[in-house]
């Protein structure tokens, strides 16, 4: 390069920067086998946001879990695995959500903000908090595509330190080791967003209309959390209860017809109650024959919905006298589900476009 070339290059205009949108979900093993599940569990359960216990106490417990649980979990993953794409359903759905968001932007979804420019200014990425594709590689991908501003969208309607805050941690930990300092925004939890509640209720009504039975009860099941986390100030329980209240209000159902419960607990500690499996068992034994379960804490179907609810809790229900059981699909990448994501992104990106 000559001196004149260097001078010209030095005075060249800085390329126009893009806006990056990063969709984040929890994650999935790379395969439904012992060792991939073990790697996934180790990463997940080593996160202090997930298990906040002294390492000297937790480490030997974790080693025991990593030998005892992967085999059982691998069998469950195999039952719900997306065999066409050879990946977990959560990964397939999150990719599709990102692709549909990009298509919406290309089709002019943000044009009212800046006609003719939005599609060229925005780049979409997606990542798993645990497993692949990881948040670290996704952030580096955004940098490679010239993004100087990043909107991170954790796909968790309700905030919890173990999910939402863990995603924050990973984004900032990645940036800490990069010579790069983009502007970063995080989309807030949308547990009480009117569009989200409307879409939930509409999706529920549509799914019930397709059933061959009329439900006596609609159980609203959220992922559980150790009670100790709530005692420390985590707002998760309050946000779950508010989603539940607003959904019941839209459906015009009382707590007796539309109860709340919490699933997916493990370990000896007390978790949020009532527990979903115990509730399903009690309802069946009390004579409920027709039960529907909806899981509004999940933006995409995964092991906790497709296996824990649709298979395990269905079995609990029928073994205890129930007859008809249905899981309402998560919003996923459906037209209604994407409306929630479109609305959230359009609102949070305002001022950048």
Quote the pLDDT of residue 114: 52
- The arithmetic mean of pLDDT across residues 79-92, rounded, is 97
pLDDT of the residue at 263? 98
State whether the Cα torsion 244-245-251-254 is positive or negative.
Answer: positive
- Judge whether residue 12 has pLDDT over 60: no
pLDDT at 224: 97
Could you tell me the pLDDT band of residue 3, with boundaries at 50, 70 and 90? very low
What pLDDT does 17 receive?
85
d(CA 29, CA 41): 8
- Could you read off the pLDDT of 122-163 as tens digits, one per residue? 999 999 999 999 999 999 999 999 999 999 999 999 999 999
DSSP category for residue 253: -
Query: Is 304 annotated as belonging to a binding site?
Result: yes
203-214 mean pLDDT: 97
| pLDDT beyond 80 at 1 | no
Average pLDDT of the chain is 93
Q: Is the pLDDT of residue 14 over 90?
A: no
Sheet holding 290-294, edge to edge: 260-263, 217-223, 290-294, 324-327
Which backbone phi and psi does 151 adopt, to 5 degrees?
-105, 115
pLDDT at 118: 65
Q: Would the annotation count 113 as a binding residue?
A: no
For tokens 């695995």, the residue is 81
Confidence tier at 48 by pLDDT (50, 70, 90): very high
Assess whether pLDDT exceeds 60 at residue 6.
no
If you average pLDDT over residues 230-238, what whole number do you get?
97
The three-state secondary structure class of 268 is: coil
Percent residues over pLDDT 70 in the chain: 93
What distance in Å separates the CA atoms of residue 156 and residue 309, rounded to the nearest whole number? 18
Beta strands in the chain (DSSP E): 18-27, 122-130, 147-154, 183-186, 217-223, 260-263, 290-294, 324-327
Which class for 169: exposed (0-12), middle (13-18), buried (19 or more C-beta within 10 A)? Answer: middle
Question: What string of DSSP letters covers 154-179?
Answer: E--SS--IIIIIHHHHHHHHHHHTSS
Model pLDDT, residue 269: 85
Spatial neighbors of 314 by CB under 8 A, at least 6 apart, are 325, 327
Burial environment of residue 3 by CB neighbours within 10 A (0 to 12, 13 to 18, 19 or more): exposed
Burial category of 147 from C-beta neighbours within 10 Å (exposed 0-12, middle 13-18, buried 19 and up)? buried
**Residue partners of 165: CB distance under 8 A and separation at least 6:** 49, 159
Under 8 Å between Cβ of 295 and 327: yes
Per-residue confidence at 108, pLDDT binned at 50, 70, 90?
confident
Complete domains list, the chain, with CATH:
18-190+335-348 (3.40.50.1400), 194-327 (3.40.50.1400)
d(CA 290, CA 283): 10
What tens digit of pLDDT does each residue of 236-269 get?
999 999 999 999 999 999 999 999 999 999 877 8
The total number of residues written for the chain in this structure? 353
Cβ burial, residue 127 (10 Å; 0-12/13-18/19+): buried
Preceding peptide of 104 cis, ω within 30°: no
> What six digits make up the tokens of 100?
């549909």
Are the beta carbons of 176 and 48 closer than 8 angstroms? no
How many Cβ atoms from other residues are within 10 Å of residue 181's Cβ? Answer: 8
């Amino acid at each position: 390069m000559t001196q004149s070339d260097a001078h010209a290059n030095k005075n060249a205009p800085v390329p126009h920067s893009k806006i990056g949108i990063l969709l984040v979900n929890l994650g999935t093993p790379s395969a439904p086998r012992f060792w991939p599940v073990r790697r996934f569990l180790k990463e997940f359960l080593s996160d202090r946001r997930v298990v906040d216990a002294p390492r000297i106490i937790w480490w030997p417990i974790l080693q025991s879990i990593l030998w005892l649980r992967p085999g059982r979990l691998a069998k469950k993953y195999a039952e719900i695995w997306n065999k066409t794409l050879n990946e977990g359903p959560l990964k397939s759905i999150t990719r599709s959500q990102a692709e549909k968001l990009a298509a919406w932007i290309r089709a002019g979804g943000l044009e009212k903000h800046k006609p003719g420019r939005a599609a060229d200014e925005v780049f979409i990425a997606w990542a798993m908090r645990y497993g692949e594709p990881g948040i670290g590689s996704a952030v580096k991908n955004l940098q490679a595509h010239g993004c100087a501003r990043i909107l991170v969208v954790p796909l968790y309607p309700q905030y919890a330190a173990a999910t939402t805050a863990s995603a924050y941690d990973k984004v900032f930990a990645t940036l800490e080791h990069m010579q790069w300092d983009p502007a970063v925004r995080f989309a807030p939890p949308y547990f009480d967003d009117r569009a989200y509640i409307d879409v939930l209720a509409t999706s529920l009504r549509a799914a019930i209309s397709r059933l061959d039975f009329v439900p006596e009860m609609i159980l609203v099941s959220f992922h559980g959390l150790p009670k100790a986390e709530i005692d420390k100030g985590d707002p998760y329980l309050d946000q779950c209860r508010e989603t539940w209240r607003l959904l019941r209000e839209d459906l015009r159902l009382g707590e007796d017809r539309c109860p709340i419960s919490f699933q997916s607990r493990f370990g000896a500690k007390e978790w949020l109650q009532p527990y979903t499996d115990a509730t399903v068992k009690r309802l069946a034994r009390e004579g409920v024959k027709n039960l529907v379960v909806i899981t509004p804490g999940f933006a995409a179907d995964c092991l906790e919905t497709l296996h824990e609810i649709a298979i395990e809790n269905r079995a609990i229900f029928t073994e205890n006298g129930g007859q008809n059981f249905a899981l309402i699909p998560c919003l996923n990448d459906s037209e209604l589900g994407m409306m929630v994501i479109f609305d959230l992104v359009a609102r949070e990106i305002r001022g950048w476009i």
